[in-house]
């Protein structure tokens, strides 16, 4: 039977279904409880049980000491309630609340999304999970202390695989490897989560998102996070690319907009080919926003992609009244070839 968990000190509550752990129910209910391994080992999910009864499964709990258990602490990733509970738990509200970790992972699937963009799905070891905020990135660790950064395209709740969108660059150290040598089962090492470009849940401002190319990846993570948690935010998503084939998940973005009245999708092509037969918007993507919004003072902006686009957004949107505190950006600075 379901049980009610009441959080202290604010008395908010959520429901745990039969067989569910407190952590799983909290994440399903849109609460950002901290966690690491989800396996009883790291202690990241520890919180205080104020009243009620829980039970643990069979696995050894190395993430909590006997003394802590006696003092009323519990590992929420392994605790299943057997009564209604009152608990105290920390919630993750900023990137600083998360642990940055180095982890091995395996490529499980490679998909070509366009002539020069591929999608990788990475799997962590069975006992590991990576907690991150929608919009953050990871580094892939290479030889000789080199690393390459890629935004996570999956939403935090959907963490069975880590999804990355990789663009091919001639001579690019990692992209040449990814496009020509990588195969399913290739082992990689990653570090993350990283970056301060993440979705701010506490705001209720309407959002303008401006992405260029694979800047689509963190936007996908943020929008899927908003949809999964039924957050009521109006989103105007502008995606800039050169030709139609560069809008590599155009159908997905159209589906978000068709199925959600609060989401507006505006693709903008800077150099459509004749054969694209493009009837939509053209020009620079930031100029399309400026044409549509004479006053940006009430909005919040997320922008990510090529540095010239991000700079143009930062400079021109400020002139339209957008306060610096409400612009979040991730500029994809490209490392020099190999």
Binding site for ligand FES (CB under 6 A): 35-45, 63, 75, 77
Residue 200 CB, nearest approach to ligand FES (Å): 25
Tell me how many helices (H) and strands (E) the chain has: 7, 19
Closest distance to ligand FES from the beta carbon of 64 (Å):
7
Strands 46-51 and 3-8: unpaired
- Mark 237-266 as b/e (b = at least 16 C-beta within 10 Å): bbbbbebbbbbbbbeebeebeeeeebbbbb
- The SS3 of residue 84 is coil
Contact by Cβ (8 Å): 79, 22? yes
Q: How far apart are CA 157 and CA 95, in angstroms?
A: 16
CB-nearer residue toward ligand FES: 42 or 241: 42
Who's near 222: CB < 8 A, 6+ residues apart? 134, 135, 155, 198, 199, 209, 302
* Distance (Å, whole) CA 213 – CA 167: 9
Cα separation, 128 vs 35, whole angstroms:
10
- With respect to ligand FES, which residue has the nearer C-beta, 38 or 167? 38
Quick one: 36 or 195, whose CB is closer to ligand FES? 36
Q: Which residue is nearest to ligand FES (CB)?
A: 77
Residues 233 and 261 sit within 8 Å (Cβ to Cβ): no
Question: Least distance to ligand FES from the beta carbon of 123, Å?
Answer: 18
Residue 9: CB minimum distance to ligand FES, A:
22
Between 73 and 284, CB nearer to ligand FES: 73
Smallest gap from Cβ 78 to ligand FES, in A, equals 6
- Measured from the CB atom, the residue of 41 and 266 that comes closer to ligand FES is 41
State the minimum distance, in angstroms, from the CB of residue 75 to ligand FES: 5
Q: How far is the CB of 60 from ligand FES (least distance, A)?
A: 11
Rank residues 41 and 223 by Cβ distance to ligand FES and give the closer one. Answer: 41
CB of 133 to ligand FES, least distance (A): 17
Q: What number of CA atoms fall less than 13 Å from residue 146's CA on the CB side? A: 12
| Minimum CB distance to ligand FES, residue 101 (Å) | 11
How much helix, strand and coil, in percent to the nearest 5, is found in the chain? 25, 30, 45
* Closest CB to ligand FES among residues 39, 303: 39
Residue 198, burial from CB neighbour count under 10 angstroms (0-12, 13-18, 19+): buried
Nearer Cβ to ligand FES, position 42 or 208? Answer: 42
In degrees, rounded to 5, the angle at the alpha carbon of residue 249 between the alpha carbons of residues 243 and 251 is: 100
Which tokens belong to 240?
């800039």
Angle at 101 between CA 96 and CA 106, to 5 degrees: 135
Toward ligand FES, which CB reaches closer, 77 or 92? Answer: 77
């Amino acid at each position: 039977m379901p049980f009610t968990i009441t959080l202290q000190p604010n008395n908010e509550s959520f429901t745990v279904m039969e067989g569910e752990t407190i952590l799983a129910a909290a994440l399903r209910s849109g609460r950002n409880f901290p966690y690491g391994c989800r396996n009883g080992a790291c202690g990241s999910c520890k919180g205080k049980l104020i009243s009620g009864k829980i039970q643990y499964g069979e696995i050894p709990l190395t993430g909590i000491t006997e003394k802590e258990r006696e003092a009323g602490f519990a590992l929420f990733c392994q605790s299943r309630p057997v009564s209604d509970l009152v608990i105290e738990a920390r919630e993750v509200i900023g990137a600083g609340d998360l642990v940055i970790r180095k982890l091995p992972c395996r490529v499980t699937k490679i998909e070509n999304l366009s002539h020069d963009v591929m999608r990788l799905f990475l799997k962590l070891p069975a006992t590991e999970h990576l907690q991150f905020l929608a919009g953050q990135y990871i580094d892939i660790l290479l030889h000789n202390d080199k690393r390459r950064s890629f935004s996570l395209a999956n939403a935090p709740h959907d963490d069975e695989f880590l999804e990355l969108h990789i663009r091919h660059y001639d001579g690019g150290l990692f992209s040449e490897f990814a496009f020509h040598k990588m195969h399913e089962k290739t082992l990689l090492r990653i570090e993350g989560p990283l970056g301060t470009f993440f979705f701010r849940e506490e705001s209720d401002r309407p959002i303008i998102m401006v992405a260029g190319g694979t800047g689509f990846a963190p936007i996908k993570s943020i929008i899927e996070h908003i949809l999964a948690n039924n957050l009521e935010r109006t989103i105007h998503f502008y995606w800039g690319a050169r030709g139609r084939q560069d809008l590599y998940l155009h159908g997905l973005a159209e589906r978000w907009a068709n199925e959600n009245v609060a989401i507006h999708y505006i693709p903008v092509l800077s150099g459509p080919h004749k054969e694209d037969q493009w009837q939509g918007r053209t020009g620079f993507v930031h100029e399309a926003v400026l044409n549509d919004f004479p006053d940006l003072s009430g909005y919040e902006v997320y922008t990510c992609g090529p540095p010239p686009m991000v700079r143009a957004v930062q400079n021109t949107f400020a002139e339209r009244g957008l306060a610096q505190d409400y612009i979040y950006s991730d500029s994809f600075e490209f490392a020099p070839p190999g």
